[in-house]
């Protein structure tokens, strides 16, 4: 049998993830790295850090149909800290941003229209290049 989750439960799960990103005393962060995604957000990041973008606080809007969407007002934009191709992302709470906690979510990165968990204006990042997050959602599946 397939497990099916109610919309209310999906919304609660998505809101809980958003609350973890908002944890700590300030705004959470989005970090973009080169290379392959590591085993999970509790492990050390792999690859080179390309972008480190602070969120608004709160980072996400209210859940709808099991999905929370990053607050993009103002636009989530960062400046390339190194040169490379974006491979994966990590969402961090403000405690982790200070180096004392763990990541919350890891996922895939693509250019706009590529279907990644996070989409960027470009995945070809260079030092000093301004890059915009065009989509960032977290979805709790229905089954």
pLDDT in tens, the chain (143 residues): 899 999 999 999 999 999 999 988 888 999 999 999 999 998 889 899 999 999 999 999 999 999 999 998 899 999 999 999 999 999 998 887 666 666 899 999 999 999 999 999 999 999 999 999 999 999 999 98
Q: pLDDT at position 95, please?
A: 81
Q: pLDDT at position 24, please?
A: 80
Sign of CA dihedral 112, 118, 52, 58: positive
15 Cβ partners below 8 Å, 6+ apart?
62, 63, 68
Please, which residues bridge with residue 88 across strands?
33, 108
Q: pLDDT at position 81, please?
A: 98
Q: pLDDT at position 98, please?
A: 64
Q: Is residue 34 within 8 Å of 50, Cβ to Cβ?
A: yes
Q: Strand (E) positions, the chain?
A: 29-34, 49-54, 67-69, 77-79, 84-92, 103-111, 118-120, 124-125, 130-139
Q: pLDDT at position 88, please?
A: 98
Q: pLDDT at position 100, please?
A: 62
């Amino acid at each position: 049998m397939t497990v099916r989750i109610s919309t209310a439960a999906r919304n609660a799960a998505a809101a809980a993830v958003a609350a973890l990103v908002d944890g700590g005393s300030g705004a959470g962060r989005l970090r973009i790295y080169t290379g392959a995604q590591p085993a999970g957000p509790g492990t050390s990041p792999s690859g080179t850090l390309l972008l480190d973008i602070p969120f608004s606080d709160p980072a996400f809007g209210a859940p709808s149909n099991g999905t929370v969407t990053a607050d993009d007002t103002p636009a989530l934009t960062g400046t390339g800290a190194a040169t490379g191709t974006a491979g994966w992302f990590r969402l961090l709470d403000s405690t982790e941003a200070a180096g004392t906690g763990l990541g919350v979510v890891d996922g895939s990165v693509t250019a706009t229209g590529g279907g990644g968990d996070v989409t960027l204006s470009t995945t070809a990042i260079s030092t000093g290049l301004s890059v915009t997050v065009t989509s960032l959602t977290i979805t709790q599946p229905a089954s």
